[in-house]
């Protein structure tokens, strides 16, 4: 009898935990609040809203890499070169500063969050000279 109650208790907890795990997985589509500054970025700004880019830029870049390398499809809007083009600042003399240099666009957050970037071991870190 005692064992039966035990099993029942365990079963209830198992079900509860499964439900909770579904919930965790399902409700996690975060969106940017309508009318916020970040949403404004849509209009001709970045390739995606700021809040989206902050969370998912690594996925977009990785996805784009796979599209290009595996399928030869270069139509994706997510290209690292484009990031660099817009986000590399210029020093006093007007020369572009590498995006991964200290306190620059990439580095400032990546260093802050202790994430190593290896992109620029191969890729360009300043805009292409025209």
- If the CB atoms of residues 108 and 127 are measured against another protein, the closer one turns out to be 108
User: Does the protein bind another protein through residue 118 (CB under 8 A)?
Assistant: no
Distances (CA, A) of 60 to 53, 112, 116: 9, 21, 17
User: Does the protein bind another protein through residue 62 (CB under 8 A)?
Assistant: no
Nearest-angstrom CA–CA distance, 123 and 130: 17
Q: Could you give the count of Cα atoms lying within 13 Å of 113 in the half-sphere of its Cβ?
A: 10
Tokens of 4: 């039966």
Near another protein by CB under 8 A, which window of 48-56, 80-88, 92-100, 120-128?
A: 48-56
DSSP letter, residue 96? B
Among 19, 23, 81, 86, binds another protein (CB under 8 A): 23
Among 42, 67, 82, 111, binds another protein (CB under 8 A): 111
User: Does the protein bind another protein through residue 25 (CB under 8 A)?
Assistant: yes
Nearest-angstrom CA–CA distance, 122 and 124: 7
Among 4, 69, 114, 122, binds another protein (CB under 8 A): 114
Near another protein by CB under 8 A, which window of 10-18, 61-69, 80-88, 93-101?
A: 10-18
Closest distance of CB 106 from another protein, Å: 12
Distances (CA, A) of 5 to 14, 17, 36: 14, 18, 53
User: Does the protein bind another protein through residue 109 (CB under 8 A)?
Assistant: yes
């Amino acid at each position: 009898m005692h064992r039966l109650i035990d099993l029942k208790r365990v079963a209830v907890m198992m079900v509860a935990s499964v439900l909770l795990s579904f919930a965790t997985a399902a409700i996690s589509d975060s969106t940017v609040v309508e009318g916020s500054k970040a949403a404004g970025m849509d209009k001709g700004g970045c390739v995606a809203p700021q809040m989206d880019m902050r969370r998912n830029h690594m996925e977009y870049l990785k996805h784009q890499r796979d599209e290009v390398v595996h399928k030869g499809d270069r139509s994706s809007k997510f290209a690292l070169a484009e990031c660099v083009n817009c986000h590399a600042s210029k020093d006093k003399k007007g020369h572009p500063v590498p995006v991964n240099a200290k306190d620059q666009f990439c580095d400032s957050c990546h260093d802050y969050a202790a994430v190593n970037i290896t992109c620029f071991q191969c890729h360009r870190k300043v805009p292409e000279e025209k």
